[in-house]
């Protein structure tokens, strides 16, 4: 029981982070039918920007810890969103009318570029976030002591997802995004500026991804230049689980994957944790490529 | 440039290249060339899958790893002579490819890419976790023997390996060239162009795709043997996602579907950074950006693949000049 | 002799019935026209017969072989090949390469033979090329064998698709709107070509909207409406059939 509750909360917290990153994949895929391979690296960029603000800049020394986290998160979201926008302008927009293959390779090139840029700027070694950003307290739940930080990460990601959900479903801009995802041509005919919608998802997605980067830094305390690759693959798996292109699906998929991983690590083997994720990814693509809902991915013959 | 002059130039170039060890090239540069050669064979074999058949395979390092580990285990544990493990390494990699590729080859390009990345990662994690108690965990396997070639004795010096590796490159290029100019090579190109149309004109696309995977994997397995015996030590770190990325990049930058392009790509991606040692750490930054730029301005690669040229049989050769 | 027999064929897409219990036969030597208003299910029937889509129920037999669960390449191997309504050539490859694609299933060389370049391979290739050139001469594109298929005019691309289908040594070809996008001159030549295909003892089934074309070319017609056969028979009888007239007057065609 103890392991179960600890792993459930841990899995949900990590899953929340996966979900935030997965949203970026799924939104871009929804509108462009393109896997943004560089998305994981924008997430890593967010983690490093947060590191710079909190550690190198010592933001907390000026404004106190709580405001520091808020300001840091906002700034990281702005910068990551900007990076996403530039990525779209430079690496994807010129290829809008090329074949799929070119777009995929370009995305891959951008991913390699970002990952190495981060390594050159911040170094190849692990970097540590300051300890005790969230007070090192525990909360008692079902007879177990749950670290406060876990609750914080989970709540933060759920709140952000809810905000996004309402934004997508209740606002005009959100409607434009959904319409563009269903049929770009029709959306254009209805007077929706699809170009701006594309730019917008390339801002929102990386902004959420960057924020997830900061949350990883806070949660685990350590970040590394190639973390984007592993987290990216896992978040992508989450998006696939939920059915890529499907926003609530990505949220659900993230939480589910977090749980699967936590239990896999606890009850099967810690050393095989990452492999379990990839096996899930392969199984879903082979057996049920639509994910929980929607979007068929197998080539029709 | 006529075909004759072109052929003459290529011959002179190849001969000069083969004479390099005799012309006082230091062992450091020979080692660099050996590395270029190994990447060249790997990329040429990936080219069959990615270049000809157009399947986005990012897991080639996994097949390479299977070959290298089969050789290392057979040699260090069972004392099988290294060169005798070569066919087994190829076979093992081929069987492995058959098993992992058959459920996934129907996936669309970008999904195949993600799945093959997943396969490389699973293999790497399995190696680190000392699967079957044979792979030596994250330290890998040490003490692999040098190869003995019948009649030539033991290969030890870099120039020995230079001829072994580049000889292998040459044989591979010939065989792949023959393959490309066969009904089967043509079928792969049809699949790349339009898989539905290819199936519709009577090509068993699933089996062709799978064979491409298996042939590519067998060659990667062979290369694994040569790599293991040249390095004498192998560890999971040498078979990471990044190795697959490098191979992928070589094929795309050089020119998918064109062997000379792939060869050029190997020299550029592996050899060129050695000339600018100071920039070593930023080479991937450069190549990442190069991929983006390339896709925008020259998506077909530096030396694009060309349509096959035919010599018509009579009476058509005279009729339609 | 009956070459192709279709009985009670049904197929729905997400609840929408595209083909609802279609039965008809094509006899050897027939030129059968499958006609009907847009959305009647003609192309779906073609796709079912050629293995592109799987039927929900019903039977398809071609020369004593059950086609129901076969993949498209198997259907071609059995001697049934096709062209597409939306042309599906390999546009970036040469014209002769396109025709050679049809020869693939009749060639012998295996993978290992080709990698080692055994002599049989050259023989196999030479034969294939001869056959490909024969087909190109048959449709009148032989002098352009080197060019990219994508550079051909619309009508020429349709001819190339026919050459490619014929290169598979079919007993029957199914042509999906062969005259689509052709000018009058080309349509006349196409009529002539179809007659020449029939003289090669290849059975033909085709979909076509151009009624005067269908009436002149076909010896049998099957009329589909909303996924069911409403009439079948000789062109002159079909023309008088009140159900057919109603179906065609009911739509703006």
pLDDT at position A300 is 30
Q: At what angle do helices A194-220 and A2-32 cross, to 10 degrees?
A: 160
DSSP letter at A171 equals: S
Q: Tell me which of B164-178, B307-321, C46-60, C189-203 is least confident.
A: B307-321
Q: Are B218 and B106 a contacting pair, CB within 8 Å?
A: no
Q: How crowded is residue B152: how many other Cβ atoms within 10 Å of its Cβ?
A: 11
In the block, which residue shows the tokens 């080479």?
B283
**A298 interface with C at CB cutoff 8 Å:** no
Interface contact B129-A271, CB threshold 8 A: yes
SS (H, E, C) A176-239: HHHHHHHCHHHHHHCCCCHHHHHHHHHHHHHHHHHHHHHHHHHHHCEECCCHHHHHHHHHHHHH
- C74 and C108 part of one domain: no
Dump pLDDT digits (tens) for C175-220.
999 998 888 999 999 999 999 999 999 999 999 988 889 999 999 9
Rounded to a whole number of angstroms, the distance from the CA of B97 to the nearest CA of chain A is 15
CATH tag, A2-129+141-287: 1.10.3470
C-alpha dihedral over C113, C115, C116, C120, to 10 degrees? 40
- C216 and C116 part of one domain: no
| Percentage above 70 pLDDT, chain B | 99
**B182 → closest Cβ in C71, C92, C109:** C109
- Cβ neighbours of C107 in B, within 8 Å: 183
Interface test with C, best of B105, B174, B196, B200 (most C CBs within 10 A): B200
CA-nearest residue to C51 within chain A is A301
Q: Which of A92, A32, A43, A25 is nearest to A244 (CA)?
A: A25
- Cβ neighbours of A301 in C, within 8 Å: 52, 71-72
Which uninterrupted H or E stretch holds C12?
Answer: strand C2-13
Instruction: Domain ranges for chain A, please list them.
Output: 2-129+141-287
Q: Which of C231, C238, C178, C215 is nearest to C22 (CA)?
A: C231
Listed in sequence order, the residues at least 6 apart from A52 whose beta carbon sits closer than 8 Å to its beta carbon are A122
Interface contact B54-A101, CB threshold 8 A: yes
Residue B273 has pLDDT above 90, yes or no: no
pLDDT at position A297 is 40
- Band (pLDDT 50/70/90 cuts) for residue B1 is low
Between CA C148 and CA C37 the distance in angstroms is 35
CA-nearest residue to C114 within chain B is B179
Interface contact C101-B185, CB threshold 8 A: no
pLDDT at position A299 is 34
Between CA C85 and CA C71 the distance in angstroms is 20
Between CA B161 and CA B167 the distance in angstroms is 9
Residue A136 has pLDDT above 70, yes or no: yes
The larger pLDDT score, comparing residue B229 to residue A58, is at B229
Size of interface B-C (CB pairs under 8 A): 127
Mean pLDDT of C45-74: 94
Q: Which chains touch C (3 or more CB pairs under 8 A)?
A: A, B
- C42 and C105 part of one domain: no
- Residue C101, domain extent: 90-169
The CATH number that applies at residue C20 is 3.40.50.300
In the block, which residue shows the tokens 């059975």?
C203
Domain-ending residue, one of C169, C185, C200: C169
Residue C238 has pLDDT above 70, yes or no: yes
CA-nearest residue to B314 within chain C is C130
Tell me if C142 is assigned to some domain: yes
Q: How many domains does chain C have?
A: 2
Mean pLDDT of A84-101: 90
In B133-290 the beta strands, taken as DSSP E runs, fall at 148-149, 153-154
- Cβ neighbours of A104 in B, within 8 Å: 56, 109-110, 113
**A119 interface with B at CB cutoff 8 Å:** yes
3-state secondary structure of C33: strand
Rounded to a whole number of angstroms, the distance from the CA of A99 to the nearest CA of chain C is 13
Instruction: Domain ranges for chain B, please list them.
Output: 3-305
Q: Tokens in use for A72? A: 């840091």
Dump pLDDT digits (tens) for A159-170.
999 999 999 989
Interface contact B178-C117, CB threshold 8 A: yes
- Band (pLDDT 50/70/90 cuts) for residue C8 is very high
Beta-bridged to residue C35, according to DSSP, are C223
Domain-ending residue, one of C152, C169, C186: C169
- C75 and C174 part of one domain: yes
How far from each other are the two terminal CA atoms of chain A, in whole angstroms?
Answer: 49
Please tell me the number of Cα atoms within 13 Å of B81 on its side-chain side.
9
Q: Are C154 and C181 a contacting pair, CB within 8 Å?
A: yes
Q: Which of C244, C231, C226 is nearest to C20 (CA)?
A: C226
Between CA A201 and CA A85 the distance in angstroms is 9
Query: Which phi and psi (to 5°) does residue C189 adopt?
Result: -65, -35
pLDDT at position A148 is 87
- Band (pLDDT 50/70/90 cuts) for residue C105 is very high
Give how far Cα B115 sits from Cα of A23, A210, A239, A279, Å.
Answer: 20, 25, 14, 9
pLDDT, chain C, mean: 91
Listed in sequence order, the residues at least 6 apart from C213 whose beta carbon sits closer than 8 Å to its beta carbon are C179, C187, C191
DSSP letter at B308 equals: P
Rounded to a whole number of angstroms, the distance from the CA of A296 to the nearest CA of chain C is 14
Q: Are B21 and B252 a contacting pair, CB within 8 Å?
A: no
Rounded to a whole number of angstroms, the distance from the CA of A61 to the nearest CA of chain B is 34
- Band (pLDDT 50/70/90 cuts) for residue A298 is very low
- C184 and C253 part of one domain: yes
Interface contact B288-A236, CB threshold 8 A: no
Interface contact A108-B248, CB threshold 8 A: yes
Rounded to a whole number of angstroms, the distance from the CA of C253 to the nearest CA of chain B is 30
pLDDT at position B284 is 86
**A301 interface with C at CB cutoff 8 Å:** yes
pTM of the model as a whole: 0.91
| Sign of torsion over alpha carbons A236, A242, A244, A246 | negative
- Band (pLDDT 50/70/90 cuts) for residue C250 is low
Q: Which of A271, A9, A22 is nearest to A164 (CA)?
A: A22
Rounded to a whole number of angstroms, the distance from the CA of A116 to the nearest CA of chain B is 5
- C104 and C182 part of one domain: no
Q: At what angle do helices B60-76 and B205-231 cross, to 10 degrees?
A: 50
Residue A231 has pLDDT above 70, yes or no: yes
The larger pLDDT score, comparing residue B5 to residue B63, is at B63
- Cβ neighbours of B287 in A, within 8 Å: 109, 112
Q: How crowded is residue B304: how many other Cβ atoms within 10 Å of its Cβ?
A: 14
The set of long-range contacts for B133-137, using a CB threshold of 8 Å and a minimum separation of 24, is: B134/B69, B134/B73, B134/B77, B135/B69, B135/B73, B135/B236, B136/B235
Between CA C131 and CA A183 the distance in angstroms is 45
Q: Are C190 and C206 a contacting pair, CB within 8 Å?
A: no
- C64 and C189 part of one domain: yes
Please tell me the number of Cα atoms within 13 Å of B189 on its side-chain side.
26
Between CA A282 and CA A289 the distance in angstroms is 9
Q: Are B161 and B246 a contacting pair, CB within 8 Å?
A: no
Tell me if C193 is assigned to some domain: yes
Residue B80 has pLDDT above 70, yes or no: yes
- Band (pLDDT 50/70/90 cuts) for residue B15 is confident
pLDDT at position A67 is 85
pLDDT at position A289 is 66
Dump pLDDT digits (tens) for A177-210.
888 888 888 888 888 899 899 999 999 999 999 9
pLDDT at position A290 is 66
Size of interface A-B (CB pairs under 8 A): 130
- C74 and C181 part of one domain: yes
- Band (pLDDT 50/70/90 cuts) for residue C120 is confident
Interface contact A281-B118, CB threshold 8 A: yes
- C73 and C182 part of one domain: yes
Interface contact C109-B196, CB threshold 8 A: no
Q: Tokens in use for A116? A: 């190495």
pLDDT at position A65 is 79
Q: Which of C22, C41, C28, C21 is nearest to C2 (CA)?
A: C28
Binding-face residues of A in 23-42 toward B, CB within 8 A: 34-35
DSSP letter at A98 equals: S
**C115 → closest Cβ in B178, B198, B320:** B178
- Cβ neighbours of C89 in B, within 8 Å: 197
Query: Which phi and psi (to 5°) does residue C31 adopt?
Result: -120, 100
Tell me if C85 is assigned to some domain: no
Tell me if C224 is assigned to some domain: yes
- C44 and C98 part of one domain: no
Mean pLDDT of A227-239: 92
Q: Which chains touch B (3 or more CB pairs under 8 A)?
A: A, C
Give how far Cα A33 sits from Cα of A204, A240, A301, B149, C116, Å.
Answer: 17, 13, 19, 52, 42
Tell me if C47 is assigned to some domain: yes
Domain-ending residue, one of C169, C204, C233: C169
- C68 and C98 part of one domain: no
Binding-face residues of C in 67-96 toward A, CB within 8 A: 71-72
Q: Which of C106, C15, C2, C124 is nearest to C64 (CA)?
A: C2
C-alpha dihedral over A86, A87, A89, A90, to 10 degrees? 110
Q: Which of C198, C163, C176 is nearest to C27 (CA)?
A: C198
Q: Tokens in use for A113? A: 């570029």
Tell me if C84 is assigned to some domain: no
**C143 interface with B at CB cutoff 8 Å:** yes
pLDDT at position C249 is 63
| Percentage above 70 pLDDT, chain C | 98
**Predicted complex ipTM exceeds 0.90:** yes
pLDDT at position B274 is 82
Between CA B69 and CA A172 the distance in angstroms is 57
- C66 and C100 part of one domain: no
């Amino acid at each position: 029981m103890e392991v179960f509750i600890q792993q459930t909360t841990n899995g949900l917290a990590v899953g929340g982070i996966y979900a935030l990153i997965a949203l970026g994949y799924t939104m871009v895929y929804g509108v462009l039918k393109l896997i943004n391979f560089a998305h994981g690296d924008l997430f890593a960029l967010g983690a490093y920007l947060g590191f710079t603000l909190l550690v190198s800049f010592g933001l907390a020394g000026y404004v106190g810890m709580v405001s520091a986290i808020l300001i840091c998160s906002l700034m990281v979201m702005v910068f990551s969103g900007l990076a996403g926008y530039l990525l779209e302008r430079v690496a994807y927009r010129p290829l809008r009318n090329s074949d799929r293959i070119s777009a995929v390779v370009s995305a891959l090139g951008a991913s390699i570029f970002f990952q190495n840029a981060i390594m050159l700027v911040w170094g190849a070694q692990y970097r540590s976030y300051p300890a005790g950003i969230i007070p090192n307290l525990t909360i008692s739940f079902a007879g177990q002591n749950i670290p406060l930080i876990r609750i914080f990460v989970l709540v933060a990601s759920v709140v952000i997802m809810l905000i996004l959900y309402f934004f997508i479903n209740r606002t005009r801009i959100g409607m434009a995004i959904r319409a563009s995802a269903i049929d770009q041509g029709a959306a254009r005919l209805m007077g929706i500026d699809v170009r701006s919608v594309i730019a917008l998802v390339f801002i929102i997605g990386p902004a959420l991804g960057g924020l997830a980067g900061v949350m990883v830094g806070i949660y685990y305390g350590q970040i590394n230049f190639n973390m984007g690759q592993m987290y990216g693959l896992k978040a992508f798996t989450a998006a696939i689980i939920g059915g890529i292109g499907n926003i609530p699906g990505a949220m659900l998929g993230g939480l589910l994957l977090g749980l699967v991983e936590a239990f896999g690590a606890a009850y099967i083997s810690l050393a095989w944790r990452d492999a379990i994720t990839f096996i899930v990814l392969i199984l879903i693509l082979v057996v049920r490529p639509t994910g929980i809902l929607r979007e068929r991915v197998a080539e029709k013959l | 440039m006529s075909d004759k002059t072109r052929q003459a130039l290529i011959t002179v170039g190849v001969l000069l290249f083969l004479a390099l060890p005799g012309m006082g090239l230091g062992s450091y540069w020979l080692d660099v060339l050996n590395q270029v050669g190994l990447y060249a064979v790997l990329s040429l074999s990936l080219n069959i899958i990615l270049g000809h058949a157009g399947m986005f395979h990012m897991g080639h390092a996994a097949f390479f790893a299977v070959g290298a580990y089969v050789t290392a285990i057979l040699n260090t544990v069972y004392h099988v002579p290294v060169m005798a493990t070569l066919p087994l390494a190829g076979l093992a990699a081929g069987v492995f490819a058959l098993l992992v590729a058959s459920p996934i080859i129907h996936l669309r390009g970008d999904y195949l890419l993600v799945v093959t990345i997943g396969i490389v990662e699973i293999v790497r994690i399995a190696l680190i976790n000392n699967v079957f108690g044979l792979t030596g965990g994250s330290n890998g396997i040490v003490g692999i023997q040098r190869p003995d070639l019948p009649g030539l004795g033991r290969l030890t010096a870099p120039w020995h390996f230079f001829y072994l590796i580049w000889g292998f490159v040459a044989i591979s290029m010939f065989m792949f060239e023959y393959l490309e100019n066969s009904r089967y090579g043509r079928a792969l190109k049809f699949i790349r162009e339009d898989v539905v149309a290819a199936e519709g004109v009577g090509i068993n696309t699933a089996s062709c795709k799978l064979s491409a995977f298996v042939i590519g994997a067998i060659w990667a397995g062979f290369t694994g043997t040569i790599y293991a015996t040249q390095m004498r030590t192998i560890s999971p770190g040498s078979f990471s996602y990044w190795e697959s990325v490098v191979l992928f990049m070589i094929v795309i930058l050089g020119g998918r579907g064109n062997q000379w392009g792939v060869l050029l790509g190997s020299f550029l991606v592996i050899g060129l950074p050695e000339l600018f040692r100071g920039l070593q750490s930023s080479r991937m930054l450069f190549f990442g950006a190069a991929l983006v730029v390339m896709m925008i301005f020259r998506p077909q690669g530096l030396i694009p693949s060309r349509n096959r040229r035919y010599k018509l049989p009579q009476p058509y050769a005279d009729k339609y000049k | 002799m009956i070459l192709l027999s279709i009985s009670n064929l049904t197929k729905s897409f997400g609840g929408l019935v595209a083909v609802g219990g279609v039965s008809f036969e094509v006899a050897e030597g027939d030129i059968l026209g499958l006609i009907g208003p847009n959305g009647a299910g003609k192309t779906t029937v073609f796709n079912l017969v050629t293995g592109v889509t799987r039927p929900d129920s019903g039977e398809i037999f071609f020369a004593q072989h059950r086609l129901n669960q076969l993949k498209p390449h198997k259907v071609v191997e059995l001697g049934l090949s096709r062209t597409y309504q939306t042309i599906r050539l390999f546009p970036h490859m040469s014209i002769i390469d396109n025709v050679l694609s049809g020869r693939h299933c009749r060639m012998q060389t295996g993978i290992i033979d080709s990698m080692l370049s055994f002599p049989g391979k050259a023989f196999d290739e030479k034969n294939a090329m001869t056959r490909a050139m024969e087909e190109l001469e048959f449709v009148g594109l032989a002098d352009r064998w080197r060019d990219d298929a994508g550079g051909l005019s619309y009508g020429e691309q349709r001819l190339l698709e026919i050459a490619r289908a014929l290169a598979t040594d079919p007993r029957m070809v199914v042509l999906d709107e062969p005259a689509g996008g052709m000018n009058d001159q080309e349509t006349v030549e196409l009529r002539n070509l179809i007659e020449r295909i029939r003289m090669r003892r290849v059975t033909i089934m085709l979909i076509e909207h151009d009624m005067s074309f269908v009436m002149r070319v076909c010896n049998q017609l099957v009329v589909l409406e909303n996924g069911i056969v409403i009439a079948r028979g000789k062109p002159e009888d079909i023309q008088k059939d009140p159900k057919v007239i109603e179906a065609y007057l009911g739509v703006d065609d």
